[in-house]
């Protein structure tokens, strides 16, 4: 999937892009161009623009740009899952012209999409989890709109709440309630695609009768409010359709 995204970005913009997982700049890769450039006496091995760029992104959590001695500008966009920086998309060289803004918008959209996909993988698991955990996930997915408690879920899979909580955490790294919250927010994202659907209706549909609580939970897990997520998702779809 990542390689397909990289290829589509290059086809749309003519700019190369790479995803560097969990990189803080200490072990930044070197492109063939930069490797050749470093051998030139005027620059030498001290040319570490990409590493410095990645370090700035890891520290700030924001989009950063840098221009190397060869006047090649690179743009770095952080990718997050649950506010945790998991890697960086680096594109370049880019030029300061009219197309640069479009390149940056597409790159930011890709970073957001990668973060969402990684979040869904966290929910899906690796396919090798215990049957009871899979049954628990299926039950939760089918009852997102209901008021659910750990004892009620445990009764469905015929385990004690303590035993289910321990097995589920070992298999997924999440508590049952944390998993449920993430599943509800992922479903809410799908419902928010309908611009005419009130946010209160979305909250009720995923089992959160309180809109303030829904908004706080959504923001905690995504870094955005439901309204802002709906706005930028619609803007992204419009941009891709052009």
Per-residue H/E/C for 51-70: HHHHHHHHHHCCCEEEECCC
Q: What pLDDT sits at residue 32? A: 46
- Position 44 scores a pLDDT of 47
> What confidence score (pLDDT) does residue 240 get?
46
- Same domain? 61 vs 97: yes
Q: Do 100 and 74 form a contact (C-beta atoms < 8 A)?
A: no
Same domain, residue pair 59 and 171: no
Q: Is 52 exposed, middle or buried (0-12, 13-18, 19+ CB in 10 A)?
A: middle
Where does a domain end: 124, 156, 177?
Answer: 124
Confidence (pLDDT) at 98: 47
Backbone angles phi, psi at 91, to 5 degrees: -120, 145
This prediction's pTM? 0.55
Q: What pLDDT is stored for residue 46 in this prediction?
A: 45
Residues 216, 148: one domain?
Answer: yes
> In this predicted structure, what is the pLDDT of residue 139?
94
Q: Which residue matches tokens 């049952």?
A: 176
Question: How high is the pLDDT of residue 213?
Answer: 94
**CATH number of the structural domain spanning residue 31:** 3.30.450.40
Last residue of a domain, one of 72, 91, 124: 124
Residues 19 and 118 both lie in one domain: yes
User: Whole domain around residue 101: which residue ranges?
Assistant: 2-124
**pLDDT recorded at residue 176:** 94
Mean pLDDT by 10 residues, the chain (242 residues): 67 74 56 52 56 78 75 76 70 62 69 62 60 90 92 89 90 90 93 91 93 93 89 62 50
The number of distinct structural domains making up the chain is 2
Which of 124, 148, 163 terminates a domain? The answer is: 124
Report the length, in residues, of the chain.
Answer: 242
> DSSP assignment of 142-209, as one string?
HTTTS---HHHHHHHTTS-HHHHHHHHHHHHSS-HHHHHHHHHHHHHHHHTTSTTS-HHHHHHHTT--
Q: Is 211 found in the same domain as 105?
A: no
| 39, 97: one domain | yes
């Amino acid at each position: 999937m990542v390689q397909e995204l990289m290829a589509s970005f290059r086809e749309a913009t003519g700019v190369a892009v790479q995803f560097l997982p969990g990189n803080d700049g200490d072990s930044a890769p070197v492109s063939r161009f930069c490797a050749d450039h470093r051998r030139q006496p005027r620059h030498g091995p001290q040319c570490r623009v990409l590493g410095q760029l990645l370090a700035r992104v890891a520290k700030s959590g924001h989009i950063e740009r840098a221009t190397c001695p060869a006047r090649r500008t690179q743009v770095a966009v952080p990718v997050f899952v649950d506010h945790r920086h998991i890697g960086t998309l680096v594109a370049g060289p880019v030029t300061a012209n009219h197309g640069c803004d479009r390149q940056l918008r597409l790159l930011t959209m890709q970073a957001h999409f990668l973060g969402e996909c990684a979040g869904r993988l966290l929910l899906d698991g690796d396919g090798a989890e215990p049957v009871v955990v899979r049954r628990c996930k299926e039950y939760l997915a089918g009852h997102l709109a209901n008021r659910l408690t750990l004892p009620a879920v445990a009764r469905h899979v015929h385990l004690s709440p303590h035993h289910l909580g321990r097995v589920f955490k070992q298999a997924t790294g999440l508590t049952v309630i944390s998993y449920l919250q993430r599943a509800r927010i992922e479903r809410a994202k799908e419902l928010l695609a309908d611009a005419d659907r009130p946010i209160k209706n979305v909250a009720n549909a995923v089992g959160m009768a309180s809109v303030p609580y829904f908004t706080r939970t959504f923001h905690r897990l995504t870094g955005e409010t439901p309204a802002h997520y709906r706005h930028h998702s619609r803007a992204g779809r419009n941009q891709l359709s052009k």
